[in-house]
């Protein structure tokens, strides 16, 4: 069985992020041919093109982590009807310097949780726009705007609702299928 390495980014820097909990759930429910590594965004300085000629170690590590992954899963909260600044900053680092965009042809999927009724719908649309510009082929369906409830999601990555668990399992199966389709048409770029 072919294994696919998935890098995942949690858009929140909060220690007890509900999106970090959601990432645990997704990893647990994912097909066995997906292997996961978190791509940390916590220690990145704010991006400036002044760094383009000499990336700091944190920027090089981020780009290397994305390059070594077969696909990227974004698990993001919604801040003020958009994506968190830390996540946008990471995407800016990864897409620079000009001509060295780490997201080019990298399959991706977007999901997020919020206590609000519409989940992270608006943040996801904002992120999809950015990823489109970065030439990352995105999984467009199913969309997943998760309303987070501590009664449904346990801290150790379990779901108490069988309906929610089945939806998330199908989401991860669709993501695996998306990765396979994209990589069969757009093989990874050689450096």
Confidence label for 25 from pLDDT (cuts 50, 70 and 90): very high
pLDDT tens-digit series, residues 66-120 = 999 999 999 999 999 999 999 999 999 999 999 999 999 999 999 999 998 888 9
* Residues in contact with 113: Cβ distance below 8 Å, sequence separation at least 6, in sequence order: 18, 19, 21, 22, 75, 77, 119, 120, 146, 147, 148, 153
* Residues in contact with 30: Cβ distance below 8 Å, sequence separation at least 6, in sequence order: 6, 36, 172, 175, 176
Determine what percent of the chain is predicted with pLDDT higher than 70. 98
Which strands form 71-75's sheet, in the order they lie side by side? 34-38, 4-10, 71-75, 108-114, 145-147
Mean pLDDT estimate for the chain: 95
Confidence label for 167 from pLDDT (cuts 50, 70 and 90): very high
Kindly state the average pLDDT of the residues 173-178: 98
Confidence label for 157 from pLDDT (cuts 50, 70 and 90): confident
pLDDT for the residue 1: 76
pLDDT for residue 141 is more than 70: yes
């Amino acid at each position: 069985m072919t294994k696919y390495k998935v890098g995942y980014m949690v858009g929140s820097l909060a220690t007890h992020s509900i999106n970090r909990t959601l990432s645990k759930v997704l990893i647990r429910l994912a097909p066995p041919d997906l292997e996961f590594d978190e791509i940390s965004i916590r220690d990145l300085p704010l991006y400036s093109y002044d760094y383009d000629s000499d990336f700091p170690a944190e920027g090089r590590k981020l780009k290397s982590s994305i390059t070594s992954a077969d696909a990227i899963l974004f698990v993001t909260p919604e801040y003020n009807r958009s994506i968190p600044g830390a996540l946008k900053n990471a995407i800016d680092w990864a897409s620079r310097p000009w001509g060295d965009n780490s997201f080019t042809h990298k399959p991706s999927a977007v999901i997020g949780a919020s206590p609000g009724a519409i989940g992270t719908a608006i943040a996801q649309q904002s992120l999809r726009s950015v990823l489109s510009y970065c030439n990352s082929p995105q999984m467009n369906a199913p969309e997943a705007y998760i309303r987070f409830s501590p009664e449904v999601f346990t801290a150790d990555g379990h779901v108490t609702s069988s309906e929610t668990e089945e939806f998330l399992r199908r989401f991860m199966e669709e993501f695996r299928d998306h990765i396979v389709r994209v990589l069969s048409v757009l093989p990874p770029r050689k450096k």
